[in-house]
Chains A and B, each alone.
Chain A
Amino acid sequence: EPEVTQTPSHQVTQMGQEVILRCVPISNHLYFYWYRQILGQKVEFLVSFYNNEISEKSEIFDDQFSVERPDGSNFTLKIRSTKLEDSAMYFCASGAMGAGNEQFFGPGTRLTVL
């Protein structure tokens, strides 16, 4: 069964450093998403991406965040200058259609900012 994969599973970084979280969505999917989950809290929407551009983003997704689909298979989330409060699980998701249909989630990357 096809699945969304994410690397690394755990990323530790120093405050102020840039990080890139990587995702490989399911191959025939067209919609891509990033969510985050701070420990013990709810899953929060960050951004959606379709047709090589951001289709929607939350207030969390400020200028420090960017997404890219560099090669037709990977989907990345970059945080330019990490802050302590960026520590969270980051989930990538993909879908064959829009959010009115199922989104498939990856296993997540745990980001720890020291």
Chain B
Amino acid sequence: GESVGLHLPTLSVQEGDNSIINCAYSNSASDYFIWYKQESGKGPQFIIDIRSNMDKRQGQRVTVLLNKTVKHLSLQIAATQPGDSAVYFCAARPVGATNKLIFGTGTLLAVQP
């Protein structure tokens, strides 16, 4: 089966610093990964995704790195801002699952001013 877990439950960073949030997955056959941001009282908000045929993908201030060898996914946020404070989830789609996403437990990112 697939399980997705996060290395650290809480990450505290200073405003302006770069943040790195990590995630491990168990099923090496997962072919699609997403990072979501969830603010208090809101639903998950899509940040960035990556397919298993890629190692890196960049968005606006965010970069996702995929290391299939060690089954590790990371989200890098450049110049972290107070508005980035939220819980960040990684999610993976197991191969063979047409629609299901398996979510990790979440990392709380706290940005200190």
Interface, chain A (partner B; CB < 8 A)? 4, 31, 33, 35, 41-45, 48, 50, 55-56, 58, 91, 93, 98-108
Cα distance, A99 to B36, chains bound together (Å)? 14
CB atoms of A42 and B89 under 8 A apart: yes
Cα distance, A92 to B100, chains bound together (Å)? 13
Find the A residue at minimum CB distance from B105: A42
CB of B61 within 8 Å of the partner chain? no
CB atoms of A44 and B103 under 8 A apart: yes
Cα distance, A56 to B99, chains bound together (Å)? 7
CB atoms of B101 and A103 under 8 A apart: yes
User: What's the tally of chain B residues with a CB closer than 8 Å to chain A?
Assistant: 25
Interface, chain B (partner A; CB < 8 A)? 31-32, 34, 36, 41-46, 49, 51, 89, 91, 93, 97-106
Tell me whether A102 and B32 are in contact in the complex, defined as CB-CB below 8 angstroms, given that A50-B99, A91-B43 are known contacts: no
Q: Kindly list chain A residues whose C-beta atoms are within 8 Å of the C-beta of B99.
A: 31, 33, 48, 50, 55-56, 98-99
Find the A residue at minimum CB distance from B49: A102
CB atoms of A99 and B43 under 8 A apart: no
Tell me whether A43 and B44 are in contact in the complex, defined as CB-CB below 8 angstroms, given that A100-B31, A102-B34, A102-B49 are known contacts: yes
Taking a contact as CB atoms closer than 8 A, the residue among A44, A100, A106 that contacts B43 in the complex is: A106
CB atoms of B93 and A48 under 8 A apart: no
Q: Kindly list chain A residues whose C-beta atoms are within 8 Å of the C-beta of B89.
A: 42-43
Taking a contact as CB atoms closer than 8 A, the residue among A35, A41, A101 that contacts B105 in the complex is: A41
Find the A residue at minimum CB distance from B5: A42
Find the A residue at minimum CB distance from B44: A105
